Amino acid sequence: MAEPPRKKIYWTEGVTRKEVETALSTNKYPALYRRSVRRALVGIYAVLIALLVLSYSIAAVKLSSYVAAISGALLIAMYLALRYSVRLIADAPTELLDERLVAIRDRTYLIAYRWLSLVVGIILGFAIAGDFSFARDSWWPLVVALGMLIAGLPSMILAWTLPSEEPQL
């Protein structure tokens, strides 16, 4: 039986075969794979999400927009850095990972799901108890912040929990 053609682009995972293979094997920027650097990236990412959320509560419309736009742009840059600091393991399809990496990725998604449930619960609590209204014009930062949290959470957890990589021997 002929082998099925190798996929080049994994649309649902948002990665290409080439970028995953490169991310898994590259030795460029070794500092990126140190635990301290990964954890710093997680911290910055969390702060930027918080900033984006806080921009919603700034009364001055212009200032609110600037804070949202700057933190949103930085968030996208940090999102990319975070993903590469964990070698795209959180996003890679099973066929491009080995069994240990698949186990790590799957465990990460379980933890991410639990954290996300907590966050969504808190948001719903605030939405029900508070005066949140989508009628306000500038609610989009909240949606972007939630979207970036959902997208980045597996990489955040992975970056926080993975030990520093040892050099290639």
Partner 1 sequence: MSRQREDPVFNRVEELRLERGLTRQQLAEAVGVHYQTIGYLERGEYSPSLILAFKIAKALDAGIPEVFSIKPFKKGV
Which residues are at the interface with partner 1 (CB under 8 A)? 24, 97-101, 103, 107, 165-166, 168-169
C-alpha dihedral sign at 155, 121, 49, 36:
negative
Supply the minimum distance, in Å, between the C-beta of residue 132 and partner 1: 38
| E strand or H helix at 10 | strand 9-10
How near is the Cβ of 40 to partner 1 at its closest, in Å? 21
CB-neighbour burial class of residue 16 (10 A; exposed 0-12, middle 13-18, buried 19+): middle
| Tokens 């999102």, residue located | 79
- Nearest residue (CB) to partner 1, 101 versus 123: 101
Pull the structure tokens for residue 25. 């094997």
Q: Minimum distance from CB of 95 to partner 1 (Å)? A: 11
Nearer to partner 1, 23 or 67 (CB): 23
Whether 86 contacts 15, CB under 8 Å: no
Tally the residues of the chain.
169
Identity of the residue, 36 or 168, whose beta carbon is nearer to partner 1 in the bound complex = 168
CB of 97 to partner 1, least distance (A): 8
The residue (of 52 and 86) whose beta carbon lies closer to partner 1 is 86
